[in-house]
């Protein structure tokens, strides 16, 4: 085995990771599991012909062309920011837990009352980009411009600059380098490859990665991989049970991905509340914002830098 830099632009693949021997984490209070609730705030930043885009987000009848305006799809997104946001905020208040908002800057600009509620209620706001867009379609300079624009916008709408970064689904080959180059981010979550954070080297700089999850994610309801809210609740509890068991010797992290237009509906919000109540009924469970996880990891696990190992 030898350590090689990828000849292709962007980060090299790492299929090795902790090699089955993850660090024995010391979460605050001796917690066995850190649960990160993530709410994607995208409504109002998605592709929409009504906003002047050439195409729109897919949805509605399969035969409906994406080059024509679909008022049904537009209002489904509107439900998220008009109703779902406030319902989820009530759930978090009732359960006394805090979340991290993956926030698109343009979406916050279009609902400033919502943006103004997030930080005062104790939630973290990180950057989900200028718009809910595929950054792989941008040039490096365009991506840099959008990244900087998102920082300025979120700082203005929420009162603080974002300290975390996450793209729509996946980054480009330039994203992590641009995030580190900017200099103000504590971490990014542009990966799905582990149950624990880790450091990587980016142009000689040590950078923290806090993996996200599409497994514990309400998008599976939208795509049809899950059916009823009961199924979503059962899945979250099953994931928790396994991670909590493993956490007896090697504490873990669990990310739960939510969307206002999905989890914000009544039955799904109830399933989420039931899961939170269930997890809270166990001892040694830490509900944490991602910035709290990042700060704790930086202070207590600074040596978890993973060298990329590839066959020569």
Residue 63, SS3?
Answer: coil
CA distance 283 to 271: 21
**pTM value > 0.85:** yes
- Would you state the pLDDT for residue 309? 46
Query: Confidence class of residue 308 from pLDDT cuts 50, 70 and 90?
Result: low
Query: Confidence class of residue 222 from pLDDT cuts 50, 70 and 90?
Result: low
Query: Confidence class of residue 7 from pLDDT cuts 50, 70 and 90?
Result: low
At residue 212, does pLDDT exceed 80?
A: yes
Range from 20-24, 27-31, 157-161 carrying the lowest mean pLDDT? 20-24
C-alpha triplet 161, 126, 197: angle, nearest 5°: 120
At residue 6, does pLDDT exceed 90?
A: no
CA distance 208 to 301: 11
Tokens 């943006």 identify what position?
Answer: 115
3-state secondary structure the chain: CECCCCCCCCCCCCCCCCCCCCCCCCCHHHCCEEEEEEEEECCCCCCCHHHCCCCCCCCCCCCCCCCCCCHHHHHHHHHHHHHHHHHHHHHHHHHCCCCEEEECHHHHHCCHHHHHHHCCCCCEEEECCCCCCCHHHCCHHHHHHHHHHHHHHHHHHHCCCCCEECCCCCCCCCHHHHHHHHCCCCEECCCCCCCCCEEEEECCEEEEECCCCCCCECHHHHCCCCCCHHHHHHHHHHHHHHHHHHCCCCCEEEEEEEEHHHHCCHHHHHHHHHHHHHHHCCCCEEECCHHHHHHHHHHHCCCCECCCCECC
Range from 107-121, 168-182, 208-222, 247-261 carrying the lowest mean pLDDT? 208-222
Average pLDDT over residues 149-164: 98
Chain centre distance of CA 77:
18
At residue 17, does pLDDT exceed 90?
A: no
At residue 94, does pLDDT exceed 50?
A: yes
Query: Confidence class of residue 1 from pLDDT cuts 50, 70 and 90?
Result: very low
- Would you state the pLDDT for residue 234? 95
At residue 284, does pLDDT exceed 80?
A: yes
Average pLDDT over residues 110-139: 97
Query: Confidence class of residue 223 from pLDDT cuts 50, 70 and 90?
Result: low
At residue 19, does pLDDT exceed 70?
A: yes
- Would you state the pLDDT for residue 312? 32
At residue 175, does pLDDT exceed 70?
A: yes
Average pLDDT over residues 204-218: 94
The answer to whether residues 270 and 88 touch, using CB atoms and an 8 Å cutoff, is no
Average pLDDT over residues 18-27: 86
Helix (H) and strand (E) counts in the chain: 11, 9
At residue 262, does pLDDT exceed 80?
A: yes
Other C-beta atoms lying within 10 Å of the C-beta of residue 75 = 11
Q: Percentage of residues in the chain with pLDDT exceeding 90?
A: 79
Q: Find the largest Cα–Cα distance for the chain.
A: 55
- Would you state the pLDDT for residue 88? 98
- CATH number corresponding to 28-300: 3.20.20.370
Domain boundaries in the chain?
A: 28-300
Average pLDDT over residues 258-267: 96
Average pLDDT over residues 251-274: 96
- Would you state the pLDDT for residue 64? 80
Average pLDDT over residues 1-12: 60
Average pLDDT over residues 234-245: 97
Average pLDDT over residues 115-120: 98
What is the average pLDDT score of the chain? Answer: 92
């Amino acid at each position: 085995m030898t350590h090689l830099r990828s000849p292709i632009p962007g980060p090299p693949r790492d299929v090795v990771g902790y090699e089955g021997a993850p660090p024995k984490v010391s979460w605050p209070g001796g917690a066995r599991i850190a649960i990160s609730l993530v709410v994607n705030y995208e409504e109002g930043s998605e592709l929409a012909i009504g906003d002047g885009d050439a195409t729109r987000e897919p949805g509605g009848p399969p035969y409906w062309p994406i080059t024509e305006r679909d008022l049904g799809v537009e209002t489904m997104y509107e439900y998220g920011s008009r109703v779902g946001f406030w319902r989820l905020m009530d759930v978090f208040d009732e359960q006394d837990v805090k979340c991290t908002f993956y926030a698109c800057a343009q979406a916050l600009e279009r609902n400033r009352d919502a943006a103004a509620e997030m930080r005062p209620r104790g939630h973290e706001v990180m950057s989900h980009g200028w718009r809910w867009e595929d950054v792989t379609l941008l040039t490096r300079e365009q991506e840099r411009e959008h990244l900087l624009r998102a920082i300025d916008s979120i700082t203005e709408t929420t009162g603080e600059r974002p300290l975390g970064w996450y793209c729509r689904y996946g980054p480009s080959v330039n994203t992590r380098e641009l995030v580190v180059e900017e200099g103000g981010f504590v971490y990014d979550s542009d990966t799905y490859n582990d149950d624990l954070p880790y450091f990587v080297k980016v142009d000689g700089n040590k950078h923290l990665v806090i993996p996200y999850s599409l497994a514990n994610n309400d998008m599976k309801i939208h795509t049809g991989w899950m059916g009823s809210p009961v199924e979503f609740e059962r899945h979250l509890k099953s994931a928790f049970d396994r991670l909590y068991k493993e956490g007896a010797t090697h504490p873990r992290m669990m990310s739960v991905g939510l969307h206002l237009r999905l989890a914000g509906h009544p039955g799904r919000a109830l399933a989420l509340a039931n899961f939170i109540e269930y997890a809270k009924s166990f001892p040694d469970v830490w509900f944490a914002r991602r910035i709290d996880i990042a700060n704790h990891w930086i202070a207590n696990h600074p040596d978890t830098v993973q060298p990329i190992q590839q066959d020569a």
